[in-house]
Structure 1
Amino acid sequence: MLKGILKVLGLDPNDRALSRYRRVVETVNALEGQVSAMSDQELEGTAVEFRRRLSEGETLDQLLPEMFARVREVSRRKLGLRHFDVQLMGGMALHEGKIAEMKTGEGKTLVATLSVALNALEGKGVHVITVNDYLARRDAEWMGPVYRGLGLTVGVIEPFMSQEDRFAAYRADITYGTNSEFGFDYLRDNMALSKASQVQRGHWYCLVDEVDSILIDEARTPLIISGPSEDSVEPYRIADSCARALRKGEDFEVDEKERNVALTERGIARCEEILKVPNLFSDYGMSELAHKVIQALKAHHLFQRDVHYVVKDGEIVIVDEFTGRLMFGRRYSDGLHQAIEAKERVQIGKESQTLATITLQNYFRMYRKLSGMTGTAATEAEEFKEIYGMDVVVIPTHRPMIRVDHPDVIFRTQREKYNAVADFVEERHRAGQPVLVGTASIENSERVSKLLKARKIPHHVLNAKFHDKEAAIVAQAGRFGAVTVATNMAGRGTDILLGGNPKFLALEEAAAKGIDPDQSPEEYRVILDRFTVQCEEERKKVLDAGGLCILGTERHESRRIDNQLRGRAGRQGDPGESRFFISLEDDLLRLFGSERIQGLMSKLGMEEGESVEHSFLTKAIENAQRKVEQMHFDIRKQLLAYDNVMNQQREAVYKERQEILTDQNLTDRAWSILEDTVASVFDSHLTSGDDGGFDRERCAIRLRAIFGPGLDEPLRADLGLEPQEARDRVLEMVRQAFIAKVSELGEENARELFRFLLLNVLDSHWKEHLLAMDELRRGIGLRAIGQKDPLVEYQFESFNLFKEMLDRVREGFSELALRVRVVQERRPVRVEEGRGPLFIGGSGGEEERPMAPARRGVKVGRNDPCPCGSGRKYKHCCGKGE
Structure 2
Amino acid sequence: MGLFDKIFGNYSKKELAKIEPIKNKVLELESKYADMSDEELGGQTAILRGKLDELSTLDDVLPDALAVCREAAFRVLGKKPYPVQIIGAIVLHQGRIAEMKTGEGKTLVACLAAYANSLTGKGVHVVTVNDYLAKFQSEEMGKVFHFLNTSIGVVLTGMNKEQKREAYNADITYGTNNEFGFDYLRDNMVIYKKDKVQREHAFAIVDEVDSILIDEARTPLIISGQGDKSTKLYSLADRFAKTLKPVTVVEMDDKADNDLLDGDYIIDEKAKTATLTKSGVKKAEKAFNVINLMDADNMTLAHHINQAIKANGVMKKDIDYVVKDGEVLIVDEFTGRIMQGRRFNDGLHQAIEAKEGVEIARESKTIATITYQNYFRLYGKLSGMTGTALTEEDEFREIYKLDVIEIPTNKPVIRIDHPDVVFKTEKGKFNAVIEQVIECHKKGQPVLVGTVSVEKSEYLSRLLKNKGIKHEVLNAKHHDREAMIVAQAGKYGAVTIATNMAGRGTDIMLGGNAEYKSLADLQKMGYSEEVAVEAAGFSNTQDEEVLAARAEYKKLYAKYSEEVKELAEKVREAGGLYIIGTERHESRRIDNQLRGRSGRQGDPGESTFFLSLEDDLM
TM-score normalised according to structure 1 size: 0.65
Worse-superposed segment, 405-414 or 62-71: 62-71
Aligned to 1:798: none
Counterpart of 2:134 in structure 1 is: 136
Per-residue displacement from partner, 1:46-71 (whole Å, max 9, x unpaired)?
Answer: 33333333333211112211221222
Pair 1:553-2:579 in alignment:
no
In 1, Cα distance between equivalents of 2:266 and 2:169: 55
Correspondence 1:234-633 to 2 at 5 A: 234-248=232-246, 249-281=262-294, 283-489=295-501, 492-515=504-527, 517=535, 518=546, 519-589=548-618
Per-residue CA deviation, residues 112-139 of structure 1 (Å, 9 max, x unaligned), is 1221112111111111111222222222
The residue identity in structure 2 corresponding to 1:496 is I
Rounded Cα–Cα distance in structure 2 between residues aligned with 1:8 and 1:155: 46
1:334, distance to aligned residue in structure 2 (A):
1.4
Q: Distance in 2 between matches of 1:525 and 1:153?
A: 25
1:462 and 1:490 in contact (8 A); partners too: no
Assess, with a 3 A threshold, how the Cα gap between structure 1 residues 217 and 494 changes in structure 2: closer, same or farther.
same
Matched, 1:19 2:48: no
Q: What pairs up with 1:51-90 in 2 under 5 angstroms?
A: 51-90=49-88
Q: Distance in 2 between matches of 1:232 and 1:102?
A: 48
Q: Structure 2 counterpart of 1:196, which letter?
A: K
**CA contact under 8 A between 1:242 and 1:275: conserved in structure 2?**
no
Confirm or deny: 8 A CA contact 2:576 2:604 kept in the other structure.
yes
For residue 592 of structure 1, what is the aligned residue in structure 2? none
Output the CA distance in 1 between the equivalents of 2:10 and 2:106.
Answer: 24
Measure the CA separation in 1 of the matches of 2:229 and 2:526: 52
> Aligned equivalents of 2:377 and 2:218: distance in 1?
15
Match of 1:111 in 2: 109
User: Match of 1:469, SS?
Assistant: helix
Q: 1:53 to 1:128 in 2, by over 3 A?
A: same
Q: SS state of the match for residue 188, structure 1? A: helix
Contact 2:129 2:503 in 1 (8 A): no
Q: CA deviation at 1:20?
A: 1.4
Shift of 1:6: 4.1
Q: State how far apart, in whole Å, the 2-side matches of 1:60 and 1:245 are.
A: 67
Cα shift at 1:29: 1.6
Task: Tell me how far 1:442 sits from its aligned partner.
Answer: 0.1
Counterparts of 1:186 and 1:491, CA distance in 2:
24
Measure the CA separation in 1 of the matches of 2:557 and 2:9. Answer: 50
Question: What is the distance in 1 between the residues matched to 2:136 and 2:341?
Answer: 23
Paired with 1:148 and 1:461, the residues of 2 have a C-alpha distance of: 35
Structure 2 SS opposite 1:296: helix
What's the CA shift string for 1:514-549, capped at 9, x where partnerless?
Answer: 245533333333333332222222212111110000
Secondary structure (helix, strand or coil) at the match of 1:245 reads: coil
- SS where residue 430 of structure 2 aligns? helix
SS of equivalent residue, structure 2 residue 493: coil
1:175 paired to 2:173: yes
Instruction: Supply the distance in 1 between the matched residues of 2:52 and 2:291 (Cα, whole angstroms).
Output: 74
Q: In 1, are the aligned partners of 2:502 and 2:594 still within 8 Å (CA)?
A: no
- Deviates further, 8-17 or 191-200: 8-17
Amino acid at match of 2:98: A
Do 1:471 and 1:491's aligned partners in 2 also have CA atoms closer than 8 Å?
no
1:223 Cα deviation after fit: 1.2
1:356 corresponds to which letter in structure 2?
A
Deviations 1:135-155 (A, max 9, x none): 222222222233234342111
Q: Which amino acid aligns with 1:278?
A: I
Q: Secondary structure at the match of 2:384?
A: strand
Measure how far apart 1:353 and its partner are.
0.3
Contact kept in structure 2, 1:412 and 1:583, CA below 8 Å: yes
CA contact (8 A) 1:325 1:490 kept: no
How far off its partner does 1:220 sit?
A: 4.2
Query: Which SS does the other structure have where 2:143 is aligned?
Result: helix
Supply the distance in 1 between the matched residues of 2:560 and 2:424 (Cα, whole angstroms): 45
Mapping 1:690-729, distance limit 5 Å: none
Secondary structure at 1:100 match in 2: strand
Distance in 1, matches of 2:489 and 2:351, equals 39
In the alignment, does 2:44 pair up with 1:46? Answer: yes
Q: AA paired with 1:553? A: T
Higher relative contact order (CA 8 A, sep 6+): 2
Identity %: 55
Query: Cα gap change, 1:524/1:52 in structure 2, threshold over 3 Å: closer, same or farther?
Result: closer
Higher share in strand: 2
1:313: how far off?
Answer: 1.1
Q: CA 1:220–1:587 in structure 2 vs 1: closer, same or farther (change >3 Å)? A: farther
Secondary structure at the residue paired with 1:465? coil
Cα separation, partners in 2 of 1:533 and 1:45, compared to 1, 3 Å: closer
* Deviations 1:438-470 (CA, angstroms, capped at 9, x unpaired): 000000001111111111111111100001001
Change beyond 3 A, Cα 1:78–1:506: closer
Q: Which amino acid letter does the alignment assign opposite residue 154 of structure 1?
A: I
Q: Distance in 1 between matches of 2:502 and 2:526?
A: 29
- CA gap of 1:101–1:524, structure 2 versus 1, over 3 A, is same
Q: CA deviation at 1:491?
A: 6.8
CA 1:532–1:11: 2 relative to 1, 3 Å? closer
Q: Aligned-pair RMSD on alpha carbons?
A: 1.6
How much does 1:278 deviate? Answer: 1.4
Q: What is the Cα deviation at residue 400 of structure 1? A: 0.7
Aligned residues: 586
Is the 8 Å Cα contact of residues 335 and 503 (structure 2) preserved in structure 1?
Answer: no
Give CA deviations for 1:397-441 in whole Å, capped at 9, x if unaligned. 111100011111111111111111112111111121110000000
For residues 289-337 of structure 1, what are the alpha-carbon distances to aligned partners after superposition, in whole Å with 9 as ceiling and x for unaligned? Answer: 1111111111111111001100011111010111100011111111111
Aligned to 2:258: none
Bigger Rg over Cα: 1
Aligned-partner residue type, residue 588 of structure 2:
R
Structure with bigger helix share is: 1
Aligned equivalents of 1:332, 1:387: Cα separation in 2 = 26
Question: Which consecutive unaligned segments of at least 5 residues does structure 1 have?
Answer: 590-882
For the residue of structure 1 that corresponds to 2:98, the secondary structure is: strand
Cα–Cα, structure 1 residues 92 and 491, in superposed 2: closer, same or farther, change >3 Å?
Answer: closer
SS class of match (2:473): strand
Which of residues 208, 219, 222 in structure 2 aligns to 1:221? 219
Tell me by how many angstroms 1:575 deviates. Answer: 0.3
Mean Cα deviation higher: 15-24 or 519-528: 519-528
Contact 2:502/2:590, CA 8 A, preserved across alignment: no
TM-score between both structures, scaled by the size of structure 2 = 0.92
In 2, Cα distance between equivalents of 1:137 and 1:124: 22
When residues 561 and 491 of structure 1 are mapped into structure 2, their CA distance, relative to the original with a 3 A threshold, is: closer
Which piece of structure 1 moves more, 207-216 or 508-517?
508-517
CA separation of 1:220 and 1:313: change in aligned 2, threshold 3 A: farther
